[in-house]
């Protein structure tokens, strides 16, 4: 435990963490908040990602293994009063544990397996401005995974997704379905948003995430690497059951309210809809994404 | 428009609607609130379900077709001030339109196709205490659907699901996947909860919903009607890809945090898990349910 309990919500340390609830400061400070034992556990598995930990006395007891792990890694652990934790937390019922983390996203080329094509080196240093995190061990681990077997086989692209809960749930589903990476295009929500981090249930730390890629550039690079690019949209000509999903596939998911814009639909290799057998108008974005990603995962394993 | 604009949040009419935000009063008054144009549109499609409509002046203009439809049906439409709507609304950004509806759930036996077995009469009057809504045209429509083809082929059971957003999203996915009914067991959230109604995106009005059925009774009746009862649980021996889903199937979904209790797992014909191909510990309940339900829908149509 570094020092005594933090009780002043106006202390510089608390204010420095608190400002990370705003996107502009996350981008400026290149840090974000990961709240709750699950997120903290996953963050601690990546070398060099967790920079500081805040814990209430109660959480220290309840999650002593995480406190021990952080201490062993030399990460400063600050005991925080309930009031300080409430100030930092973005949940109604704070779980008493919160990490300040360095950004974990990687450049698009690295997520797709390196600049020299499928199977090429996936080292740090590609374009995209995440150099400061590109050389963490954990990110390399997941980057290697995507390179295994000759390039990515399943990628989720979030284009114009604005709801952080939906975006985080898609990350979690993509991780579960064995996707190689998740790409947030330039018009999507910030994956470091607190709600998104929570909804991802640790998956933000599990697979390479790309931020701010222009949709056109992402689609072009995905195609260059041999992935079939499918736009998931209720207006699709084909349904999920009509298309061959056995090959490497990238799915583009759009905004729940208004789907995907024309230019993206035009750039995709095909526009595919989840069939609606009942009276529902549509599916929730995250559930539709899960159905699409699992259809791909199954088709790739059966074939 | 019935009378002048309601501006007093303490008026008896506003208070009578406002109290429906609490479960005890919904049960006592046998009414619930459906908020937003989508829910109101679907409610109006069912004869006799919508009892009153509250609309702001702005919403009246924007959704004039719904106001006209309600008026044609003889449903009282009350113009409400923004303040009154905020009092009634359970959303951060009220959409200006809110219906007071009669309960729409049906008895278990009716949802499963009538007391005399598959294909039997599905009239009102079965046990379960929904007699006042059992004879609405809309519910009969959906009841008939479940009886078509010799009994239900796909049923979703929510056991111990506590999060209203998750429960509503499962209802929506079940509707989309063509399920014949959704059963909320006695330990689950109230489907008339405002968040649940919103997350269902109208599906609460689309397919027969059962409330408060004891799990054991539901499982027994589902088996009696020839459905294979599968418990969806991360601890399942079989994965979704290992089981034959082509026959009539009922899926039981449990609490996100702690899954399904032992006694339910023991009563099911099989315990099935969604395979996790990546590093995620589990899937969000609603996304897991969507993947299971769509796997069934596909298997039933391919076979």
- Give the residue from A182, A243, A279 with the most B CB atoms within 10 Å of its CB, the best one to mutate: A279
Of B173, B279, B288, the CB nearest to A175: B279
Min CA distance, A11 vs chain B (Å)? Answer: 32
From the number of C-beta atoms within 10 Å of its C-beta (0-12, 13-18, 19+), residue B76 rates as middle
**Looking at residue B124, what is its pLDDT?**
36
pLDDT at A127 over 50: no
Q: Indicate if A34 and A135 belong to the same structural domain.
A: no
Residue A213 resides in a domain: yes
**Looking at residue B122, what is its pLDDT?**
35
Q: Indicate if B127 and B143 belong to the same structural domain.
A: yes
Q: Which residue has the tokens 């294909």?
A: B119
CA atoms within 13 A on the CB side of B302: 12
**Is A173 within 8 Å of B283 when comparing Cβ atoms?**
yes
Q: Indicate if B237 and B116 belong to the same structural domain.
A: yes
Of A69, A102, A135, the domain-final residue: A102
Interface contacts (A, B; CB < 8 Å): 121
**Is A278 within 8 Å of B241 when comparing Cβ atoms?**
no
Of B201, B278, B290, the CB nearest to A281: B201
Q: Which tokens is B5 given? A: 């604009």
Task: Please list, residue by residue across A129-158, b when 16 or more beta carbons sit within 10 angstroms of its beta carbon and e when fewer do.
Answer: ebeebbebebbbebbebbbeeebbbbbbbb
- Coil vs helix vs strand at A72: helix
Overall number of domains in chain B: 2
Give the separation between CA B267 and CA B269, rounded to whole angstroms: 7
Q: Indicate if B81 and B118 belong to the same structural domain.
A: no
- What's the rounded mean pLDDT across residues A14-32? 97
- With contacts defined as CB-CB under 8 Å, which chain A residues touch B168? none
- What's the CATH number where A61 sits? 3.30.1330.30
- With contacts defined as CB-CB under 8 Å, which chain B residues touch A297? 275, 277
Give the separation between CA B215 and CA B185, rounded to whole angstroms: 6
Residue A128: which pLDDT band, with cuts at 50, 70 and 90?
very low
**Looking at residue A132, what is its pLDDT?**
38
A146 close to A180: Cβ distance less than 8 angstroms: yes
Q: Indicate if B112 and B209 belong to the same structural domain.
A: yes
- What's the CATH number where A178 sits? 3.40.1280.10
**Looking at residue A219, what is its pLDDT?**
96
Q: What are phi and psi of B103, to 5 degrees?
A: -65, 145
**Is B278 within 8 Å of A169 when comparing Cβ atoms?**
no
**Virtual torsion, Cα B240, A146, A49, A287, nearest 10 deg:** -40
Of B102, B124, B156, the domain-final residue: B102
Q: Which residues of B touch A (CB under 8 A)?
A: 38, 169, 172-179, 199, 201-203, 206-207, 241, 274-284, 286-291, 294-295, 297-298, 301-302
Q: By CA distance, what is A240's nearest residue in B?
A: B298
- Give the residue from B139, B280, B296 with the most A CB atoms within 10 Å of its CB, the best one to mutate: B280
pLDDT tens, position by position, A81-124 = 999 999 999 888 889 999 999 999 999 999 998 644 333 333 33
B107 close to B132: Cβ distance less than 8 angstroms: no
Residue A148 resides in a domain: yes
β-bridge mates for residue A54, sequence order: A78, A98
Q: Indicate if B113 and B241 belong to the same structural domain.
A: yes
CA atoms within 13 A on the CB side of A42: 23
Mean pLDDT estimate for chain A: 87
Q: Indicate if B169 and B289 belong to the same structural domain.
A: yes
Residue B277 resides in a domain: yes
Please list the pLDDT of chain B residue by residue as tens digits (303 residues): 545 899 999 999 999 999 999 999 999 999 999 999 999 999 999 999 999 999 999 999 999 999 999 999 999 999 999 999 999 998 888 899 999 999 999 999 999 986 443 333 333 333 333 333 333 333 333 333 344 457 899 999 999 999 999 999 999 999 999 999 999 998 899 999 999 999 999 999 999 999 999 999 999 999 999 999 999 999 898 999 999 999 999 999 998 777 888 989 999 999 999 999 999 999 999 999 999 999 999 999 986
Residue A1 resides in a domain: no
Q: Which residues of A touch B (CB under 8 A)?
A: 38, 169, 172-179, 199, 201-203, 206-207, 241, 274-284, 286-291, 294-295, 297-298, 301-302
Residue B1 resides in a domain: no
Residue A98 is inside which H or E element, if any? strand A97-102
Find the domain containing B230 and state its range: 108-302
Give the separation between CA B276 and CA B273, rounded to whole angstroms: 9
**Looking at residue A149, what is its pLDDT?**
56
Q: Indicate if B163 and B280 belong to the same structural domain.
A: yes
Spacing of C-alpha B288 from chain mean position: 18
- With contacts defined as CB-CB under 8 Å, which chain A residues touch B179? 278
Q: Which tokens is B67 given? A: 């106001």
- Coil vs helix vs strand at B10: coil
Q: Beta-carbon neighbour count of residue B44 at 10 Å? A: 23
Q: Indicate if B58 and B189 belong to the same structural domain.
A: no
From the number of C-beta atoms within 10 Å of its C-beta (0-12, 13-18, 19+), residue B101 rates as buried
Q: By CA distance, what is A280's nearest residue in B?
A: B176
**B54 compared with A149, residue with greater pLDDT:** B54
**Looking at residue A119, what is its pLDDT?**
37
Of B275, B284, B298, the CB nearest to A241: B298
Q: Indicate if A38 and A141 belong to the same structural domain.
A: no
**Looking at residue A94, what is its pLDDT?**
87
Q: Indicate if B175 and B210 belong to the same structural domain.
A: yes
Q: Indicate if B66 and B214 belong to the same structural domain.
A: no
Residue B4 resides in a domain: no
Residue A119 resides in a domain: yes
Q: Which tokens is B163 given? A: 């999060």
ipTM for the assembly: 0.86
Of B61, B79, B102, the domain-final residue: B102
Q: Which tokens is A3 given? A: 């020092």
**Looking at residue B144, what is its pLDDT?**
36
**Looking at residue B92, what is its pLDDT?**
82
**A289 compared with B187, residue with greater pLDDT:** A289
**Looking at residue B258, what is its pLDDT?**
78
Residue B6 resides in a domain: no
**Is B291 within 8 Å of A286 when comparing Cβ atoms?**
no
**Is A286 within 8 Å of B282 when comparing Cβ atoms?**
no
Q: By CA distance, what is B283's nearest residue in A?
A: A173
> How large is the C-alpha radius of gyration of chain A?
20
């Amino acid at each position: 435990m570094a020092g005594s309990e933090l009780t002043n919500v106006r202390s510089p340390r608390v204010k420095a963490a608190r400002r990370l609830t705003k996107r502009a400061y996350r981008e400026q400070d290149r840090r974000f908040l990961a709240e709750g034992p699950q997120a903290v556990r996953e963050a601690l598995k990546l070398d060099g990602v967790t920079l500081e930990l805040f814990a209430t006395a109660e959480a220290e007891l309840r999650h002593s293994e995480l406190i021990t792990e952080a201490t062993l890694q030399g990460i400063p652990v600050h005991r925080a009063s309930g009031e300080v934790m409430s100030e930092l937390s973005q949940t109604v019922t704070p779980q008493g544990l919160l990490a300040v983390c360095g950004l974990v996203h990687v450049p698009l080329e690295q997520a797709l397996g390196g600049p020299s094509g499928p199977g090429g080196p996936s080292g740090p240093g590609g374009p995209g401005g995440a150099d400061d995190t590109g050389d963490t061990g954990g990110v390399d681990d997941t980057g290697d995974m995507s390179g295994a077997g000759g390039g990515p086989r399943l990628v989720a692209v979030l284009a114009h997704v604005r709801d952080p809960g939906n975006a985080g749930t898609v990350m979690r589903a993509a991780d579960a379905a064995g996707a190689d990476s998740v790409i947030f295009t330039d018009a999507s929500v910030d994956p470091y948003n607190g709600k998104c981090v929570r909804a991802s249930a640790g998956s933000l730390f599990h697979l390479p995430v790309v931020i701010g890629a222009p949709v056109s550039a992402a689609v072009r690079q995905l195609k260059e690497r041999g992935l079939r690019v499918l736009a998931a949209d209720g207006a699709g000509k084909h349904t999920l059951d009509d298309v061959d999903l056995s090959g490497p596939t990238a799915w583009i998911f759009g905004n729940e309210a208004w789907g995907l814009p024309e230019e993206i639909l035009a750039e995709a290799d095909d526009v595919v809809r989840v069939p609606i057998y009942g009276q529902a108008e549509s599916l929730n974005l995250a559930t539709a994404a899960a159905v699409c990603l699992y259809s791909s995962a199954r088709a790739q394993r059966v074939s």
